[in-house]
Structure 1
Amino acid sequence: MLSPMDDYPIHQVAEVIRHVQTSDRNFYDRYYFNCHGPDENSPWLIVGLGVYPNLGVTDCFAVIRYHDEHIVVRASRALGADRSDLRVGPFTIEILEGLRRLRVALDPGHGDLAFDLTFTATGPAALEPRHFQRQMERVFFDTQRFVQTGAWSGTLTVDGRDFEVEPEAWRGNRDRSWGVRPVGEPEPPGRKAAADISGTFFWTYSVMDFDKYAIVVIVQETETGERVMDDARRVWHDPGREPEWLGHVAHEITFIPGTRETAEAILRFTRPTGAVTTVTCRPALANYLAFGTGYGLEADWRHGMWQGDLKVEGLHLKVSELDPTMKLFCVTDHFAHFVLTDGDTEHLGDGLFEFAAIGPHQQYGFTEYTDPA
């Protein structure tokens, strides 16, 4: 079946646009956005929309942390043929100017959250390294992603309170990723149920925004510290300057006692010359985005899971009442402040510090899934 996108010269394989090259059920195509105000007393909003061509599903979520409020609106629908239709129930994503301006909106009346926001890039979109991983011979991850910092404008309503979002004070980043990763209903484990496969997911992903550049850090490790991903790059706001590799990443995480939540993180980037750049990350506000949004905690709502032709739900929880055990299996997105030390100079920035320490990890002494610090 043809769609309007087929009229553009963008085909990559001998198929119509709605058919991707692989028949792997886990193929996905996703948008992610975050938006924060000037400090930790402001709302901390995260929005995601995913398309799952081989599952026939598209879904979207918004989750906001504001003081002790954890508010989620989520929606899912049958995908259909038109990939340019980025509406899921009350959600809309509109590409106003590719790689420059996008509109993200959630109509009121579907919970305690609504917004109509425009993202305007403050720097170029930068490709990240390819993420590739096998598990028992099968490709488990094979994804490509780009990241971009920007400023927000528009309106935001949280639990009955209205915010005027001005670009001077409201910032954030977005990313686009696509490829293969686990999505949809759980598959039968088969041989994996009898195999000794480490489920450790130690992950640091940070997008730090400074005056003249952003720094993007990606680290994924196994239980022993072997690196699946290891990258740190400076992305200049000036699109005429090429991104700069900062070197290999070492981390020193200080945990909040009794949890695996981050109190502080020190990241060191070492170049082959021996030059070291250090960033101290101080999380200011945590958004436990896995609660209610489809990242795997709830068996009845996962990204790409079939929910029927259209389903829309709203959740309103208290952060102080979230299950602390379930947090151990969560990726957490922090609004964070950063201090970068490069030689004798210091630079201040803020942005995203995303972190998870799920499963055993030798460096930090975790031997079981539920060991706290």
Structure 2
Amino acid sequence: MTLSPMDDYPIHQVAEVIRHVQTSDRNFYDRYYFNCHGPSADLPWLIIGLGVYPNLGVADCFAVVRHHDEHIVVRASRALGADRSDLRIGPFTIEILEGLHRLRVALDRGHGDLAFDLVFDAAGPAVLEPRHFQRQIERVFFDTQRFVQTGTWRGALTVDGESFEVTGPDWRGNRDRSWGVRPVGEAEPPGRKADANVSGTFFWIYSVMRFADFSIVVVVQETETGERVMDDARRVWDDPDREPEWLGHVAHDISFVPGTRDVAAATLRFTRPTGVVTTVACRPQLANHLAFGTGYGLEPDWRHGMWQGELKVEDLHLKVSELDPTMKMFCVTDHLTQFVATIDDAAVSGDGLFEFAAIGPHEQYGFTDYTDTA
């Protein structure tokens, strides 16, 4: 059993060294997510992720940027060492400058058509979301915890040979940290699920909206019939002394681009038991199809947590207009979005993330099969 520098801190949760988690479930993970955007959809829409998989012995990361018709990915994977504070994977670095306040993310030049050195400065407090728990045929499928935080970015970004000076507050975004159990690594044999008619529907809305002095965070997951696995909407004030405010139960009305499941527009309504309603009009400006090339499951040879060897670094440069339209229906898409919220009888404008997936059948929108379109 190997010690690491983290073992010198009084943070142990079980009778193990800090790098060993309580569960032996192969699907345990611990992940960072960041997004970064400028004041216009003409500027790059960057997403970064880094994950650690203690029971698979792997750490990996990716960066994916959408700029005009360009879809550029750099990804890396390495064997997981004993020191969990070492957040370097090949040319990637995440550095915690001040916990829950400032973090640095960097990708060295010379690895594809993307490079950056950026610092995230929190605009408001980090807030825990409701725990995400779901079983499939008795087995725990999801058991995760996540916190989210909005902020501004500063530093340098180079995309396809073009350099951008990133200066807050015009460059903004959100970041999250999640950990727990979710499907990762090499695909497992389906076992009983192959004969049990288990619905593979994954209907998902995750939105982080940034306004002048608060954010709204929405998370919805539904089954094929619309039964809720997750249902939460909260206003998070920049002022850390103000408690987050629950806005009510979520209803959604999605408009799709005809012939696809791509979101054209959406309206979200949050209703409290008192009958008070908050409405948000969502107008996506730019889609980042982050599942293409990043490990979210579309490519069988590169999935989050999959063993790639001691160190492997790859890059991809694709055209958004040439992405397989059928495969787009099997992944989550992150939209840079403009929002208009009507709250307390006043309309306020903001921007941020509208993450969406409608994978599989869904009664509300008339999808009876996996490849049905609007």
Q: By the TM > 0.5 criterion, same fold?
A: yes
Q: In structure 2, what is the equivalent of residue 188 of structure 1?
A: 189
Following superposition, which runs of at least 4 residues in structure 1 exceed 2 angstroms of deviation? none
SS at 2:76 equivalent: strand
Q: How does 1:201-280 map to 2 (within 5 A)?
A: 201-280=202-281
Residue 26 (str. 1) matches residue 27 (str. 2): yes
Report the Cα distance in structure 2 between the residues aligned to 1:201 and 1:188, rounded to whole angstroms: 20
Q: In structure 1, what is the equivalent of residue 358 of structure 2?
A: 357
After superposition, give the CA deviation of every residue in 1:236-288 in whole Å (9 maximum; x if it has no partner).
00000000000000000000100001111100000010000000000000000
Residue 283 (str. 1) matches residue 284 (str. 2): yes
SS at 2:6 equivalent: helix
Q: In structure 2, what is the equivalent of residue 319 of structure 1?
A: 320
After superposition, give the CA deviation of every residue in 1:288-325 in whole Å (9 maximum; x if it has no partner).
00000000000000000000000000000000000000
Q: How does 1:164-203 map to 2 (within 5 A)?
A: 164-203=165-204
**CA positional deviation for 1:330:** 1.2
Q: In structure 2, what is the equivalent of residue 61 of structure 1?
A: 62
**CA positional deviation for 1:345:** 1.0
Report the Cα distance in structure 1 between the residues aligned to 2:346 and 2:8, rounded to whole angstroms: 52
Q: In structure 1, what is the equivalent of residue 337 of structure 2?
A: 336
After superposition, give the CA deviation of every residue in 1:315-372 in whole Å (9 maximum; x if it has no partner).
0000000000000101000000000012431000000000000000000000000001
Letter of the 1:221 partner, please give it.
Answer: E
SS at 2:192 equivalent: helix
Report the Cα distance in structure 1 between the residues aligned to 2:146 and 2:343, rounded to whole angstroms: 28
Residue 106 (str. 1) matches residue 111 (str. 2): no
Report the Cα distance in structure 1 between the residues aligned to 2:5 and 2:370, rounded to whole angstroms: 48
Q: How does 1:68-147 map to 2 (within 5 A)?
A: 68-147=69-148
- Range with bigger deviation, 306-315 or 186-195: 186-195
After superposition, give the CA deviation of every residue in 1:11-57 in whole Å (9 maximum; x if it has no partner).
01110001000000000000000000001101000000000000000
Report the Cα distance in structure 2 between the residues aligned to 1:70 and 1:87, rounded to whole angstroms: 24
**TM-score, with length taken from structure 1:** 1.00
User: Sequence identity of aligned pairs in percent?
Assistant: 82
Report the Cα distance in structure 2 between the residues aligned to 1:269 and 1:192, rounded to whole angstroms: 35
**TM-score, with length taken from structure 2:** 0.99
Letter of the 2:235 partner, please give it.
Answer: R
Letter of the 1:115 partner, please give it.
Answer: F
Report the Cα distance in structure 1 between the residues aligned to 2:343 and 2:27, rounded to whole angstroms: 41
Letter of the 2:224 partner, please give it.
Answer: E
Specify every segment of 5 or more residues in structure 1 that has no aligned partner in the other structure, as ranges. Answer: none
Report the Cα distance in structure 2 between the residues aligned to 1:267 and 1:259, rounded to whole angstroms: 21
Q: How does 1:147-166 map to 2 (within 5 A)?
A: 147-166=148-167
SS at 2:7 equivalent: helix
**Please, what is the CA RMSD of the aligned residues?**
0.5
After superposition, give the CA deviation of every residue in 1:33-83 in whole Å (9 maximum; x if it has no partner).
000000110100000000000000000000000000000000000001010
Residue 296 (str. 1) matches residue 297 (str. 2): yes
Specify every segment of 5 or more residues in structure 2 that has no aligned partner in the other structure, as ranges. Answer: none
Report the Cα distance in structure 1 between the residues aligned to 2:300 and 2:367, rounded to whole angstroms: 26
Aligned residues: 373
Q: In structure 2, what is the equivalent of residue 346 of structure 1?
A: 347
Letter of the 1:264 partner, please give it.
Answer: A
Report the Cα distance in structure 2 between the residues aligned to 1:238 and 1:120, rounded to whole angstroms: 15
Letter of the 2:102 partner, please give it.
Answer: R
Report the Cα distance in structure 1 between the residues aligned to 2:69 and 2:91, rounded to whole angstroms: 25
